[in-house]
A and B are shown apart, each in its own frame.
Chain A
């Protein structure tokens, strides 16, 4: 067939996208935006609405009206479509405003609390009211790490095993186990704290171990559910070929299934950790708080980042609140790092 020659004779045809007209869509957007900005300015000047939020609200309302009128030049269907596009976009954008505000406030206000010594000092000889250049959250950071480590030691194996029961053993109770895990993920964190208080703390004392127990209850369902998803992605062919080679189910699980899903399981663990790293309520009832750097996990309260924030918030003075923001910045960074690890490792597994 001579299509190469025929196309060289013909004028070269260029791919186009007639349905994408940047200039036209920009023009079509610019006019209503302009009118809406104008209208919003007038509304802010005339009525009691004020500030950036007032302007934003006035802008959204005017934009809805303008896009309806703009659409009506065609017909009602177009007008409704335009209004709904505005509403849907506004619904999404509006939800992002508070989140942006949270991130901004945490890091902006937190920055004034953070200095190099912040990560090496504790609050043993510093009160929450003292100047910001003194004291730190080393005790809370280390306490959090200890508690999370212990919680992982409990929750990750049990979470993965629970997932293995559903995907590998495929036992009669798989459905029930799944429902249990689902219900467990809905257990209020304070209830987990109460439970551990009743079982452990009321008999012995506040301790890091008690905090870890409470967090592991909250972590288990996340690990189990994410692991189940990951293990399901392991192709059945791999299992069949292992069996065909005469491998036992145990060998297949440990040598084939788990290594294949390894990075996914790491992701599951990181997501589980991120879920509980900021839990405060159960720690009030279990690990409680101590201002002193300590590695002792039994017999005495153990500090943690969320409790550090909570304590400083409860103190309520300006410097204490700044310390609370500083703790929030550290905690949020820690959670984001866990998240990024989960993402990077997870992406590696998909390739």
Chain B
């Protein structure tokens, strides 16, 4: 773990911190966790992300922060190849998951997505399924046979912090829950296929403060044995849940990583003035 931590510390000798290219240590590529190397994304002619190289150490929480429209959500979708559904999308660079390049020609996309779970901005349980069916939907989709469905169900719902609230109404429709409960149901659904990485796209932006707190607790607990990447607009949330932070910014051109470091460093002594301005709420 100590080694992993060092890799995210900005190399002070590199003066060109703007591209963020120094954040990823080349030596780390291909080891545990998730690394991106020189990621660019285009939508048609529009260049939306430029040269993002980041390291997400295993069993850590990384917050992606920055103003709207700087490409954080797009970057998140690059990590599980969900952006390629958008017509006109193109990219460059590499993403390594546990040593395997996920854009390689031999990669089975659906099998890769099983290892990378995702939670969306708006809770989106399948309305045609019950709560229990929702949790186990991923297994059904991937045709994975499980010996003991009930215990898996309980385990996932417990880890998502929802078990106590729904254990008596597992047969009800997923859409009968409140917004916060639905979002935790979606987390449980993502957990059921035992992913190594969990991507969360502003998971609390549609929730009330109490539900937000519960989801945040869940994130912290999950990070004990998962790599979590969470996009957030909420500075306090980033400070509360993340171990590392990457600050994205677009000056009208493609989005770039201005600075990536331990969360404490980003919030207390960032090396870039724009980061300081942003985390103190002076813009964005």
Contacts and interface: CB of A to CB of B under 8 A. Distances in A.
Asked whether any CB of A lies within 8 Å of a CB of B in the complex, the reply is: yes
A6 B18 contact: yes
B256 interface: yes
Interface residues on A, range: 20 to 34
A1 B19 CA distance: 11
B251 interface: yes
Contact of A10 (B51, B84, B104): B51
B38 interface: yes
Given A3-B18, A6-B19, A15-B42, A77 B142 contact: yes
Chain A interface, >50% SS class: loop
B158 to A, nearest CB: 28
B105 A24 contact: yes
Interface in A62-94: 74-78, 80
B110 interface: yes
B273 interface: no
Interface in A12-59: 13-19, 21, 24
Contact of B105 (A3, A21, A74, A78): A21
A76 B139 CA distance: 13
Interface residues on B, range: 20 to 34
A14 B16 contact: no
Contacts of B142: 77
Nearest to A4: B253
B126 interface: no
A183 interface: no
B109 A16 contact: no
A2 interface: yes
A250 to B, nearest CB: 45
A3 B253 contact: yes
Given A3-B18, A3-B50, A77-B110, A15 B91 contact: yes
Given A13-B51, A13-B92, A15-B40, A1 B251 contact: yes
Contacts of A1: 18, 251
B128 to A, nearest CB: 18
B213 interface: no
Given A19-B81, A75-B143, A7 B50 contact: yes
Interface in B93-131: 93, 103-105, 108-110
A3 B143 CA distance: 47
B141 interface: yes
Contact of B103 (A3, A19, A24, A75): A19
Contacts of A18: 91, 103-105
B89 interface: yes
A17 B51 contact: no
B256 A15 contact: no
A6 B21 CA distance: 12
26 contacts: A2-B18, A3-B19, A3-B251, A3-B253, A3-B254, A3-B256, A10-B19, A13-B40, A13-B92, A14-B92, A15-B40, A15-B42, A15-B91, A16-B92, A17-B91, A18-B91, A18-B104, A19-B81, A19-B103, A19-B109, A74-B108, A75-B143, A77-B110, A77-B142, A78-B108, A78-B110
Given A74-B108, A77-B142, 7 more contacts: A6-B18, A10-B19, A16-B91, A16-B92, A18-B105, A75-B143, A78-B108
